[in-house]
Amino acid sequence: MKILSAKAVSAKTSLSIPHIRRAAKGGSFPQPIRLSEARMGWLESDVDAWVSAIKTTSEKGLKNA
């Protein structure tokens, strides 16, 4: 199990850090886990699953276009 920083999640998804945090707060992105009072991170498996779901949704949309 690997934990990713906000910067690593941003690099992996091409989303800005503020957008990632807003999406997580809004429920459209995986929730971070608290590592300490000042530090949060995302499970790499959660981020990978989200990317796969977005890719599948995007591919379905292109096939129906």
Q: What's the CATH code of the domain at 29?
A: 1.10.1660
pLDDT confidence band for 62 (50 / 70 / 90): low
For position 63, what pLDDT does the model report? Answer: 62
For position 65, what pLDDT does the model report? Answer: 53
The SS3 of residue 23 is: helix
- The two tokens of residue 53 are 């779901």
| Stated pTM of the model | 0.85
Which pairs with CB-CB distance under 8 Å and at least 24 residues apart come from 53-58? Answer: none
pLDDT in tens, 18-55: 999 999 999 999 999 999 999 999 999 999 999 999 98
Question: Considering its fold, how many domains does the chain have in total?
Answer: 1
Provide the domain limits for residue 53. Answer: 3-64
